[in-house]
Structure 1
Amino acid sequence: MSYDVAFIGTGDAADLTDPSPDGFAMNYYHAEAYEVLENCTLVACADVDTDRAAAFADEFDIDAAQTYADYEAMLAKAEPDIVSISVWPDIHAEVVIDCARTDSVAAIHCEKPMDLTWGGSERMARVCDQRGVQLTFNHMRRFKPTWVEARELIDSGEIGDLERVELALGNIYDGGTHGIDFATGVVGDRPAEWVLGQIDYREENRWFGAHNENQAFAQWEYDNGVYGVVTTGKGSSLVPAKMRFTGTEGVLDVNPDDEDADNVVRWRGHGEADWNRRTLEEGAWTDPINDAIAHVVECLETGTEPELSARRGLNTTEIIFGIWESARRRGRVDFPLEIDDNPLHEMVESGALEPESTDD
């Protein structure tokens, strides 16, 4: 089959060379990935800034008549099969649901994190499921060569049966969603049963409009008995790697602290003094997007569940919002999570947390 692909939120091409918490122009990378697929044709784009939409269309040879300020007009006129979405998370659910309710749309690939709220995350997943629309999120680091190698080593039994995952991340929401998602995938894409966490948020830290804590520490348990631990910000050196996986027979680290590189895996058995090490070839940080989108399109053709599916994304997102909810409740949170909002944002809005503004 062939697919017509449209884009919502083109972003500013200037952000490709100077990305910031306000913009990364991720749909440019999405478009490059679709462009090399023989069964995909780039047909339309929408952005509230029509100059940005025009620049995107020019870059990818999209007919100028198929550029829009209003994405709903684009959906109605272009009738795309696949839509890639790269807008701020506070409107992810709204845009995804509008796409899912468009008869022509068979698949939606949305930037991470899922949504600004847990309720929005659940709603858009539910609507897409009801409409038979494939919904995926750009947790593309599942396709990062170093992370793929780590997963294959664990799956092959190098450290025995997995018992615990420890993560040292910059935050748990914007960038940290990649680490939690990958760990959850290694565990078997199982849901967690509970989480207990605490956060510190004293200096405002917004990415794409969303608050992110300055420091967090949390523990959770997956329904197969594997434990997860995450630490962010000050104190994250507690974990001697970006990710540590402990099994019944050994331990494996991804990006260990004794290596100034992000493409190293080391592992050893319990009681062994020396590490086995493997350094992987990595290209640009965006290269895994190509593999991710090729996989998404292939799954649309075959009808198989993608690695980046909404179901898997919900497992990750429930842990994230569960950590913030645990901090709000000051106690353990049992799943399923029964909230609709964003606990961190609510704590800021209510005055329970008062981060100092970083505006000049």
Structure 2
Amino acid sequence: MRVAYAMNSKSEIGICVIGAGRAGLIHAHHFRKNVPFARLVAVVDPSQEAAEKAIHELEINRYYTDYTQALDDQDIDAVVVVTPTIYHKEIVVAAARAGKHVLCEKPMAMNEQECDEMIAACESAGVTLQMAFMRRFDDSFIEAKRQIDSGAIGEVVLVKSLTRGPSKPMPWMYDLKKSNGPLAEVNSHDIDTLRWFAESEISEVYATGGNFRNREIRHEYPDFYDSVALTAKFSDGKQGSIDGALYVQYGYDSRVEVVGTEGVIFLGQTHEKSIVVAGRDHQLKRPFMNSWRSLFKEAYLAEDTDFIASILEGRNPRVTGYDGKMAVKVVEAGNRSIGSGSVVKLD
């Protein structure tokens, strides 16, 4: 049973962000200053140096290096889990049992079974479990979904989504047993976008991957891939396509194309600023998008704001644990396809 707070009895939600990395600090800054009815209470990071640096930047005075201590803090009503994926299940289940609401960053977990355990724990405790698929809160994505639902392009036939990141992978990402690879770390958003726009579940996938930019680790991590191409078939016959890459170096690239029977929708922008410079070399120059933090800045805030609203209003979040689970299911199937070189059918 869900726990519903009446606005007059619980007008402010105490937040703890678990994980003081780049994404964790984005959430923390929002809850510190910009999200109505939320108060940032503490941050958690196993590195005391990182935790101390975070609270100094956030101008708060409470941190923990052990998340279990934060779960005992009665000032904390909800947690934001922004740790490596391998720890998500353990933390979310413990948070639910402690009565804390949960906003969990993608990917949800390492496998479908872990997702089921997380969903069951939150349902049993009556707490909110929201997945952090921030693209569902982006104005352009929301408008695209509205246009699809209105029939502006007829019936959806194909959804194509790509995400390519400029950064070199963190060392733990090379081990697929800890990261599930770029399909999880990079393309979880793309998988969710396909499901959301197609309004259908993926029934089979075929994927190929290769390591083209991180060749120095090939011997130690022969299964690692920094580029992936996945083709999907939906249960109702629609088609899907995903393109993912790490360490492309030219910038952050996120685009979507939705093809219908009567039209097409293009989503995404490759430029970060509107300025265009023409010089003596007769070339036009325009800054390329450098980070997901720039492209989806407002979407993160909207996501965090809606998380608090769903708690206070006692309603289900707009992005559920089931959505997170289905993305993980496709990641698992995609990795099996890369390993086997064959089409993988999903149950």
TM-score when normalising by structure 2 = 0.74
| Distance apart, 1:109 and its partner CA | 0.9
- Would the aligned equivalents of 1:125 and 1:310 in 2 still touch at CA under 8 Å? yes
Q: How does 1:48-197 map to 2 (within 5 A)?
A: 48-62=46-60, 64=61, 66-78=62-74, 80-103=76-99, 105=100, 107-170=101-164, 171-188=182-199, 190-197=200-207
Q: How does 1:313-324 map to 2 (within 5 A)?
A: 313-324=324-335
Provide the residue aligned with 2:266 in structure 1: 253
Provide the residue aligned with 2:340 in structure 1: 329
- Would the aligned equivalents of 2:187 and 2:242 in 1 still touch at CA under 8 Å? no
| Distance apart, 1:287 and its partner CA | 2.3
Alignment: residue pair count: 290
| Distance apart, 1:334 and its partner CA | 2.3
Counterparts of 2:141 and 2:53 in 1: how far apart (Å)? 34
Verify: 1:32 aligned to 2:29, yes or no.
yes
Counterparts in 2 of 1:201 and 1:129: CA distance versus 1, 3 Å: farther
Deviations 1:192-242 (A, max 9, x none): 222222322365499xx9x862332322223333221223359x9xxxx93
- Would the aligned equivalents of 1:44 and 1:78 in 2 still touch at CA under 8 Å? no
- Would the aligned equivalents of 1:146 and 1:263 in 2 still touch at CA under 8 Å? no
Provide the residue aligned with 2:281 in structure 1: none
Counterparts of 2:196 and 2:63 in 1: how far apart (Å)? 37
| Other structure's SS at 2:72 match | helix
Letter in 2 for 1:290: L
Counterparts of 1:44 and 1:116 in 2: how far apart (Å)? 26
Letter in 1 for 2:304: I
Counterparts in 2 of 1:233 and 1:9: CA distance versus 1, 3 Å: closer
- Would the aligned equivalents of 2:158 and 2:260 in 1 still touch at CA under 8 Å? yes
- Would the aligned equivalents of 2:209 and 2:225 in 1 still touch at CA under 8 Å? yes
Name stretches of at least 5 consecutive residues in structure 1 with no aligned partner: 12-23, 265-281, 337-360
Counterparts in 2 of 1:262 and 1:228: CA distance versus 1, 3 Å: farther
Counterparts of 1:28 and 1:173 in 2: how far apart (Å)? 21
Deviations 1:118-149 (A, max 9, x none): 43333323322333222122211222233223
Counterparts in 2 of 1:43 and 1:284: CA distance versus 1, 3 Å: same
Counterparts of 1:325 and 1:262 in 2: how far apart (Å)? 36
Counterparts of 1:213 and 1:148 in 2: how far apart (Å)? 31
| Other structure's SS at 2:152 match | coil
- Would the aligned equivalents of 1:173 and 1:212 in 2 still touch at CA under 8 Å? no
Deviations 1:295-350 (A, max 9, x none): 111112233332221111122221122111122233332223xxxxxxxxxxxxxx
Deviations 1:233-262 (A, max 9, x none): 59x9xxxx932211111122223xxx7537
Counterparts in 2 of 1:137 and 1:245: CA distance versus 1, 3 Å: same
Provide the residue aligned with 1:346 in structure 2: none
Provide the residue aligned with 1:350 in structure 2: none
Provide the residue aligned with 2:237 in structure 1: 225
Counterparts of 1:163 and 1:263 in 2: how far apart (Å)? 33
Letter in 1 for 2:41: V
Pairwise CA RMSD of aligned residues? 3.0
Sequence identity percentage: 21
- Would the aligned equivalents of 2:133 and 2:192 in 1 still touch at CA under 8 Å? yes
Letter in 2 for 1:291: A
- Would the aligned equivalents of 2:102 and 2:127 in 1 still touch at CA under 8 Å? yes
TM-score when normalising by structure 1 = 0.71
Counterparts of 1:260 and 1:55 in 2: how far apart (Å)? 32
Deviations 1:145-168 (A, max 9, x none): 332232222222111011211223
- Would the aligned equivalents of 1:34 and 1:41 in 2 still touch at CA under 8 Å? yes
Q: Which has the higher contact order (CA 8 A, sep 6+)?
A: 2
| Other structure's SS at 2:73 match | helix
Counterparts of 1:7 and 1:230 in 2: how far apart (Å)? 31
Name stretches of at least 5 consecutive residues in structure 2 with no aligned partner: 1-9, 165-181, 249-253, 275-291
| Distance apart, 1:183 and its partner CA | 2.4
| Distance apart, 1:83 and its partner CA | 0.4
Provide the residue aligned with 1:303 in structure 2: 314
Counterparts of 1:123 and 1:283 in 2: how far apart (Å)? 31
Counterparts of 1:162 and 1:250 in 2: how far apart (Å)? 9
| Other structure's SS at 1:292 match | helix
Letter in 2 for 1:184: R
Counterparts of 2:293 and 2:267 in 1: how far apart (Å)? 17
Counterparts in 2 of 1:127 and 1:328: CA distance versus 1, 3 Å: farther
| Distance apart, 1:70 and its partner CA | 1.2
Counterparts of 1:126 and 1:94 in 2: how far apart (Å)? 13
